[in-house]
Amino acid sequence: MQNDLSKRLMWSGLLAGLGALASLAVSRIAAMIWRKAFDEDPPE
C-alpha cells in the first residue's frame, strides 16, 4: 500500500516538474517569435 502511494507521489512530482519545464520552454519560444515578428519585447 505504501509503495503505491510513493509511486503516485513520484509520478505527480514528475508531471509537475515536466509541466513547469515545458511551460518555460514554450514561453521562451513565444517571446523569440514575438521579437522577430514585431522587433520589440512582448507585453508583460
Q: Give the domain ranges of the chain.
A: 1-43
**pLDDT tens sequence across 1-44:** 679 999 999 999 999 999 999 999 999 999 999 999 999 999 98
Question: Residue 39 region, left (φ>0) first, then alpha (ψ -120 to 50), else beta?
Answer: left
Task: Kindly report the number of other CB atoms within 10 A of residue 34's CB atom.
Answer: 14
Tell me the whole-structure pTM to 2 decimals.
0.73
Whether residue 34 contacts residue 42, with contact meaning beta carbons closer than 8 Å, is answered with yes
